[in-house]
Amino acid sequence: MNVNRLGLLQWAVVAAFLILLSGFWRLQILRPDYYKRLAEQNYLKNLPIPAPRGRILDREGRVLVDNFPSFSIIGQWDYREQLKEHLEAIAQGFNLDVQVLRARLENAERRSPYAPIVLRENATRQEIAFVESHRREFPELDLITVPRRLYLADGFAAHMIGYVGEVSENDLDQPEWALLRPGALVGKSGLERQYDGILRGRDGSRRVVVDSLGREAAVLDEVLPTPGQDLRLTVDADLQAVAEAGFQQDQGALVALDPRTGEVLALVSRPAFDPNHFAQGISRQEWASLVSDPSHPLLNRAIQAQLAPGSVYKVLMAAAALEAGTVDNATSYYCPGSANFYGRNFKCWESRGHGRVGLHAALVRSCDVFFYNLGKELGIERMADYSWRFGLGHPTGIDLPNEAAGTLPSPEWKERMFRERWFAGETISVAIGQGALTVTPLQVAYSVGGIASGGNFLRPRLVQPAPSVPVGGNSSAAPLRRVALSEETVAMVTDALYGVVNEGGGTGVRARVAGLDIGGKTGTAQVVSNQLARSGGAGLNTLDNAWFVGLAPRRNPEIVVAVLYQ
């Protein structure tokens, strides 16, 4: 009996030894790297250190956009099985849709399977407390400090500056963002988008030792982040504030620039949005509200609103006619309040007529009949040619994304777009800035400023050039375009613009300032036909668009301002 027990004990010892030997074989021979990594997970973690984006400053160095510290909650891929297993409980703790978190994990596993995945940006105090109090249950969760964007209140310069947001699935397919991890913050619009590569900087990382509760005990190594570079703009914050205050609740846009350098001094689009909502993580409801808003607050009207310019186009018409030789000081036309062209009656805005007027008086009093005749003499081909030279029909090249080109009608354009021939009567409408012609407020400031500067058209820019901050553009437009204009043409046009503001009968006399050499041109453009407007427009907004372009001094101006009210 004792012998049998001794034999069983011996076999038990042998079996235990074999089990230990097999375990040793698995650990040391078969999969040593795998088990080493599992062991290290118990005390080592890799944490990213996001780089702060560069600040955005005005021309005097005043801060327009800064950063503030916030917390993000990340999941460690070394704990991927626990992360997937605990996903529903984590979503419940953060009050999030579990499907949203699951989609993030799947995207991150496909795109960047070894980098931590951002589960929650701009975490609240309650969410931070949830992570801290559940470290034992959820060792896969960590908190990291993330610099968040802080924009000025009330949507100040929102369309110009833009906003940042989490890099999307489509963004990661673009070469410039292909190496970013899912959840990274990038510029989505405006200057934030245009200069994202300069502003973003380079993230760092650190490897830390943690205790059994997941708390950090020591730092093994650390790679500090490289902060993004600051941008100093050409914009004057005081002028920008005055321009924005002038709109109050009205809808429209304003562009002020120095045509001698191309520097944009102010750029306003109203209504605006609050970019802080994007920096803090905009909800689906907020995004849907912005997108469906009939006033289109996300539209940058200064560079994207493509509208008929109305009578401000007469400045370009006058310069073109003088250069083409179809008008001079002796040219005049009689305005009885309307005129017949090609079997159709075209009215002047002044139903009583302006009498006989020359070019100067026609610009000062904005006589439509004079410019109807000018359009007939010039012809649509020459009108389109000169308008193109003066900056219409193509982007100016400002360093902002998604600048609109506007529409410059011509027989070739109509054939290409509609497979129809051009009718002579359409030229008459285009001659006063109506018809198919559309421009942006930036194009108006750019073209009028270039004409008043003697034919020097400098590409508009928002960033001051410096060796570390190259000025970028969204087109291949040259920094300077030179259009040959005679001194007589420039003198006649700019003297007439001065008369618009300073002479009796001028349509822009409300812009007069005693002692200042100010010129300008008003414009009113229909948004619907007269027939539709008389019928009430079937619920549409039938109010005309109002334009004004002003400059000072009248020749070689230091500032040009284009204003659109809708």
What is the set of active-site residues? 311
**Residue whose token pair is 């007439």:** 496
For residue 64, give the nearest of 244, 254, 197 by alpha carbon: 244
Which long-range contacts does 7-16 make (Cβ < 8 Å, 24+ apart)? none
Give first-to-last CA distance, the chain, whole Å. Answer: 107
- Residue 46, classed as helix, strand or coil, is strand
φ and ψ of 521, to 5 deg = -155, 130
Biggest CA–CA distance in the chain, Å, is 138
- Residue 154, classed as helix, strand or coil, is helix
Tokens matching residue 84:
């997937």
Angle formed at CA 354 by CA 352 and CA 356, multiple of 5 degrees: 135
Q: Sign of the CA dihedral 90, 94, 95, 100? A: negative
DSSP single-letter state for residue 308: -
Q: Parallel, antiparallel, or unpaired: how do β-strands 263-270 and 63-75 relate?
A: unpaired
DSSP per-residue codes, 353-368: --EEEEHHHHHHHT-H
For residue 141, give the nearest of 209, 239, 73 by alpha carbon: 73
